Structure 1
């Protein structure tokens, strides 16, 4: 197709141009042609770009950035050249500074020797040699100034000041030859002015330097140079004023102390520019030099009689001054070396900047060619598809794999269809391969996470099972052990096993297990806190505040206890062992409860505290950084599970406070859990009336973590009027057949003929028969099992004693039945009114006969010999006497309250002996015992 045809087709087929023509017709141009201005603008862009190659288009696109890069590169190269020139000037000034330092030393020696010659005849010959050395050093110094005379206005002013003072040098020497004016009246200050002018050359080099290291070294050189000048002035003035064998004059003391203090200040400034290693080395050298003049300086400072001569002082002061001059020379050499390095670096930078500019230009041209080859239509479509895949499709697919598991990775397909076999098609296939590989990696990662979670869960479950079995064995050992030391050791092992179980549960939390153990009943807040404390290594340091009587719902008991254990463990680990960790509670507005764990440690920085609070609020995925704070990650997981808010705050008196805000839906009143308890009967004390119970129901108790808080023990039931009549004997038939059966067989039937005392009968319960129940397991198990063993041992001992009684002993009394309704019980089956029973007369006690003696000469005890007649009815008379109604049996709740008191006593005993180890009711091994 020809150019004209293509142009005409573009004019008629371009939608934008068609809309422009339509607008023109609407505005009064009936021909529909575009305006000349519009047509001209379109043709220019069409001419410049439409028929140009891709390379030309890219060149037009990058020409402006290329020119900008060239300009910036030139500016950068110019700055590098300027820096190199300045560094070269500093290098030259540093070299001049070394020559100036040598001249300063010669001027100082000439001045000090002149002072010695005025007080000692032996110093006159040394003056001429000192002046010759000064002239030689001055000639070298003036020659070194020629390269730096044009270095700047500051340098030119310093050189002019030196030249003025050099012209006055001959006048200074003539005044010293005539000793007029006196040395301390102006002779010393004349040489000092010349020395200060020379030192100005050293200082001026620091104003032109741009390198911080070089500037610091020049400042240090200036400080040590001033210290050397002060030490030289001290040597000359002390030499001039010193009078051996006489007390120090006030002028000498003032001058010497002033100059020595100035030197100390300047040396401290000098040392401040060096690191610790260099400072120690230089300080040691200076201290050793000070010892050379310590004797004379001490005498001068105290105003004592001087023991050294002029020459002795001059020699000692010269040795000290030589040490300071060595340090000054080392500092000057360091300045020269650093200035040379800075100059070389600046020159290298300038060269590299030029090379970099050229490289950027060449690279730009090269990239222009490369990019031109890739700008085609299919590439744009490929880019769009790739962006869609990278930003939306691939993340969504990876998230699906994370949720559904590795099986979802097998559903992957090609995301972009190749358009051909050229380079763009190859890129498309490569992108598809990358996409497939990413999906495969995501699936492998999901499978790996799933396998790791499974392994962690299995190992944690096995650890839990072993720990639970170990706790069961330990509990048995604790019950059988009587040695306090061994028992304390068992308690510590029990406590460590409990901590191991907590760590295993933390691994289950990391593996995503929702329910570690099943808790079937609510528990008081205090018991939950005690459970958490029991799983902490340093539990004796934990102090409780006042805890509410509210209950924690069953589903959150173990998780809240685990959270608190982790927080308390952190508090004890990051605070001093001698400080307490306090656990307090506070009700929240609108319901709920806040439990605070406060330590007295060093606290946490604000930025780190904010990061930890962010991690507690947003769980996220576990990584290496999270594994270092595993406890907080577990707390975050558990708090997110139950909607609990956990936050770390700085303590008011130091340390850190962990606040656990438990929502209202996890806390309820203990009255709610007692709503199913029936009200007490009329005329009965509700505090002393046991709850109803039937023999067919097993005994019940509320499970709770650690030490179970049972209701207070129920007292014996009071009747309307206290009965003074002793209980009558019951028939053996009633005591065998009508007692409640707790374990599926008549527990008391085998002991119906045992002659136990009535008080034993009044507290006896089915749980003391030695049987256990799988429905009741708590940390108080050890206490009530031990009580059952004691009572069973008492029964066996009583049975053994009865088998040894003589045949002529008193007839055995039938067993009586006693319940928790009172201390005096009525015979079973009695139908007499209560008023008749309570007002029955009581016979007086007859005279007790002398006891019979056995073959060994010991008295033979007769059961019932001392009882009041009528207190126990005769079985033979039971047929003629109307039987009383059977007393109510003891309720399960009453017995549960009694055992709760026993449990609390056992817990207090463990706390007092330092071996209290709380157990959870949900321990499977404990529930089986």
Structure 2
């Protein structure tokens, strides 16, 4: 590559120049290192100064409370806490201390004295006073003051290690040490003076010793100040005078304020004495006379006045010390920065001078390669991430809600690479525009589907209403049967119209919020299939479907049943069974004996059922497959197709999640009924139990259902289903009303059996005549919404057409999941008080029929089965059938027993 060749040309001379310039750079780095050591030393000195000041404040501020016996005073705790904090800060500073002999020696001296602070705090003032009083002055109370000096003095000595890299090293360190010494002497005067004013020793010799020490430290302060002036600069001397003048003025203001406050309170105020205009010097002279505290108080020298005046001067020394130490830190940091800058500058000059040619060539090569890299990265990002993500968002969201702005590739050059970037930006814009137009086109198509379907649905609903009125008013059995066929055809038309709504991503307008038995859902789905006479329901467990999912489940099952009847011989039956699994789910099996599918077709269809595709031309060819996928995804239902196993044809497995099912399990299937569950042979019973006992419940995997293809879609779909709002059961009610009308007019086809009958219709007709005829009035009125019922008035709502409820009805079956309340009126009241309304047509009456527990088994159908009632939707095993005992659940639905 060109960049590699250019770099190789200048590599050898650059290496030689770097070796020769390295010596000069190393000298600058050594200077920088020395300056850094000086900066770290200054930081240690500052931390030591703060630590020493905290020790002095602890000794002075705690003198009065400890001398008066108040060891728990708040000021004691605060002062000692401040000292502990300063100690931690000092310990952190010495961790980064340069490894110099002088610093290490002074640190070892301080570490030897520091442990004495614990014992010193324990015996501060109180034990010292007691010792002095009992021992005749041996040790004396001055031991506390001087004990703190031993610890603090070793911290002061760190100031002598200040080194700023100039000829003023000794002078500057001497100045800092002198001001620290003056501050320490002032602090000793403050603590001893407080001691003499609060609790002087009762022995004359000890008290005289205290007075002498007080005067001695005043003299030491003057010596330290003279040393500061002689060792410092003229600016330091001026600074000292300014600070002391300022502090004296502040003290005078405080004194005046105290005098005014006493006068306002009507109290006597005695101003402390002054010497040559200095109140502090006047009080020092008064205390040095050895007068008693009472005598001094009469002259205005009180512990409070003394502490205020001496603290003002102590603070002045503190300000000067802090300024000097901060200046030392700042100067050391500046020298360190200068040394670092010199090292960097020298090194940069050497490197730049030797690498100029190489850098220029490298920059050109790097710029070209960087532009190519950016262009390549941006192109791959757009092709592999941006455009696919945008297309996916446009397919799931309205185009107006998707950000379709194109971010240009960040290449601003005007060369050929920049021109390629601008051309690619234009291609990107065109691709985004086409994707947005395609999404808008899909949205328009969906809107067309929705509008056409809504219009068609409105007409069909009107047609169904008219047919229902004709059925309710028709007394001729043959003519009523023709109306039923017309009703069935219109129902299928409505389902086809709803397919367009599903294609458009909309939901049907029919809504219901009551749970419905699974067998009624299967019947409703059967009624929407053209060859409904070939469908047989067997082994349906007693479970109920959540009202929010009923309408879509009916639609889904109808599509699968339509597919099973279409692609199988007209002379065969389509068997529908259901099984409750141990985990609470319910699996519906739809078996046909059709032409079947290849393994590739099964894999493709199952993939599309689990991941419904977007609407395109291929969807219109397999609309049922798309509708089933969309509806199952909406409610967390899983649908799979598989071969029928031992028989020819296809088996559709519909797995209903526990979130939309209610109720208990069902009865075992007859041994001659083939289902997926029969593929697993029963295990022999070692205990030789009776054969009528049910086999253990099989899992989904044992029944052939593959749960591994689904990840976390079930929980999300169930949550989405809960947010979709309630729907009603119009298909179920229409199926039940159709059978009631057949019973009312005494219609019979074929051999005279009702469609859902059991072959012996005499009992059924007798019960119908006694129970269902009064309901004709409600159907003639167009299924008006029911009003809440007063429990005390019986079970007859206004204009409902139902017989009045006089006493609790007999319960022929046991109810395992929905127990009957103690009060017979409660379920009816709760059911009718919250009767839902439909969105696009009037509300309809709640059906009130239950089903008998035992029916004669219907034999397997033979080819060319006649179109008679008992062959349309029969049962090959005992199952639910209409009954005269109209017991309801708490939701107002037919109660189903356990047999």
TM-score, length of structure 1 as denominator length: 0.36
